[in-house]
Chains A and B, each alone.
Chain A
C-alpha cells in the first residue's frame, strides 16, 4: 500500500514536471507573434473616444464595460455566499467573543502606534488612486483594495466587531445597481450631452468611485466575516 502510494506520488511529480517542460518548450520554440488588432484599436484614439488618459481605464470603463459589470456581479455573489453559506449563521451561540480577552490581543505597541500614524495616509492614497484612476495608473479596483487595506489595519489596532456588516452589504448592493445603471444609460443608450469632453470625464470619475467603493465594501465584508465568524 505504501509502495503504490509512493509510486503514485512520483508519477504525479513527473506529470507536473513533464507538463511544465512541454509547455515551456512549446512556448519558447513554437510561439508565434499574432497581430494585435484589439490593441491597435484601443490605443489609437482612446482619449478622444472615451475621455480617459489611461487606456486601461478606457478599456474597462468604456470599450469592454461588460467585463466590469459581470466582475462586479461576481464579487457581489461571492460576498453574498460568504455571508449566507456560513456555519456561523445557524450556530451563532458558539460565536460569542470574550470582549476583554479580545481587546488588543497580542498586538505589539509598535504596530499599534505606527498603524495609527499610517492610517490616514492609506485612506488618502486610496482615494487619490480612485479619483485619478483615469489620468494616471490606478483605478477603482486598485483604490478599493487599498481602502480595504485601511480597514484591515484598523482591525490590527482595534480588533472589535463594531461594524454593521448588514448595512455594508446593503450599501454594496445599491452600489452594484448604480454600477449597472450608469454604463447602461451612458454608454449603451448614449444618453449624453452634445459636447462630451466634460461628461466623459465625469463618467470616468463616477464609475471609478462606484467601483472603488464597491470593491472596498466587498473586501471589507469578506475580511470581517472571515476574521469574526469563520475564525474557529
Chain B
C-alpha cells in the first residue's frame, strides 16, 4: 500500500497553516504512526488523505490515485475513524458494524456475518445485541476500530483511537491492530508515544504542520545526538558534562542522555561509587523530546488539527 504527499499544505481561515508543504512517500503494509504536539497537523493530514478535506495546495495520493481528482476511486480503498467518532447510542454493536459495511456496499446478510465475526474477534460476543451506549469507553473505541477494520479497505485511518482509554483497554486495542495490520496499511495518529513506538512500523513526526522526520524507531534513534539513556538510582546524583543531558526525575533517580561512548564511559564511575543503574536505548519519548524539546503545546491552537 502506498501513500504519497507532494508539498501538501492546508491553511485554515487564510491565516492558520495547519499543514506546511508536507512531502512523504510511504510504501508498506503495517502501522504508520503519526505523532506530534497538539496542532501539529496530524488530523489535517488524515482528513486530507482520507478525502474528507480539500488541501489548500499540493497533492496527495493513495495507491497512486489523487485524493482530490480521483476521490471516488480512492474511497473504494480506504476507511476512516475520525478523532471524535462514537457508536450511535441507539444501535447495537452488530447494527453499528453491519450498517457501516452496508454503506461500503455489502449486502445485509454479508454485513451481518462479517459483523458477527468482527465482534467475536473483539471479544464482544454476547454483547452484539445490547445498545452501544451500555458499552464501556474501551469497548466503544474497539467497536469503532472494528467497524472499519472488518471492511475490505486496504488503507485504514485511525485518528487517535485510544485517547482517553485506560492502559489495559489500550493494550487490547493494540492487540487488535497488530492482528489486523498484516495485509493493510493502518495510519494511526496518537498522542501516546509509547503506543506509536510499540505499534509503528514507521513513525512520522510532525510539528507546526511540517515534517520533522520519518522512519523506523531505529532510524529515528540513530539520527538523534543522544540515543542512549543511563538511569541512575542514587540520591542527589550530580554530573557536569556538556556532552550529556541530565534530567533529574526525582531525588533518587536521574536520567542521563548521551551517546553510546559517553554513557558507557560513565559506568566505571558508577560502579566505583556503588550506584545502581541501567542503560537503555532512547525511547520514542526521549527521541521526541530531542527533536522538539520538551516545551508546551502551541498555545495558539484551539483544537488538534
A joins B in a complex = no
